[in-house]
Amino acid sequence: MLFNCKAVFLDRDGVLNSSNVREGKPYAPTCIEDFSLLPGVAEAVKALHENGYMTIVVTNQPDLTTGKVSADTVEAFHECLRAAMPIDDIIICPHLNEDNCSCRKPKPGMILQAAQKYRIDLTKSIVVGDRWRDIDAADAAGCVSYFIEYGYDEPLKQKPNFIVKDLAEAVHMILTEN
pLDDT of residue 82: 98
87: in domain: yes
By DSSP bridging, strand 25-27 and strand 144-148 are unpaired
Residue 162 included in any domain: yes
Q: Does residue 107 sit within a domain?
A: yes
Q: Is residue 1 part of a domain?
A: no
Q: In this structure, is residue 161 part of a structural domain?
A: yes
Distance CA 27, CA 66 (A): 14
**Is residue 53, in this structure, part of any structural domain at all?**
yes
State pLDDT tens for residues 100-157: 999 999 999 999 999 999 999 999 999 999 999 999 999 999 999 999 999 999 999 9
Give buried/exposed letters for 34-59 (b at 16+ CB in 10 A, else e): ebeebeebbebbebbbeeebbbbbbb
pLDDT value of residue 177: 82
3-state secondary structure of 133: helix
DSSP SS3 for 127:
strand
**Which structural domain, as residue segments, surrounds residue 54?**
6-177
Q: Does residue 49 belong to any structural domain of this protein?
A: yes
Q: What is the mean pLDDT of residues 42-59?
A: 97
Average pLDDT of every residue of the chain: 96
The CATH code of the domain that includes 98 is 3.40.50.1000
Residue 91: per-residue pLDDT: 98
Residues 6+ apart with CB under 8 A from 99: 65
Please check whether residue 90 lies inside any domain of the structure: yes
Span 103-113, pLDDT tens digits: 999 999 999 99
| Catalytically active residues, by annotation | 11, 13
| Reported pTM | 0.96
Hey, is 6 helix, strand or coil?
strand
Based on the structure, what is the number of domains in the chain? 1
The per-residue pLDDT for 1 is: 53
**Alpha helices for the chain (secondary structure H):** 41-50, 63-66, 71-84, 109-118, 132-141, 167-177
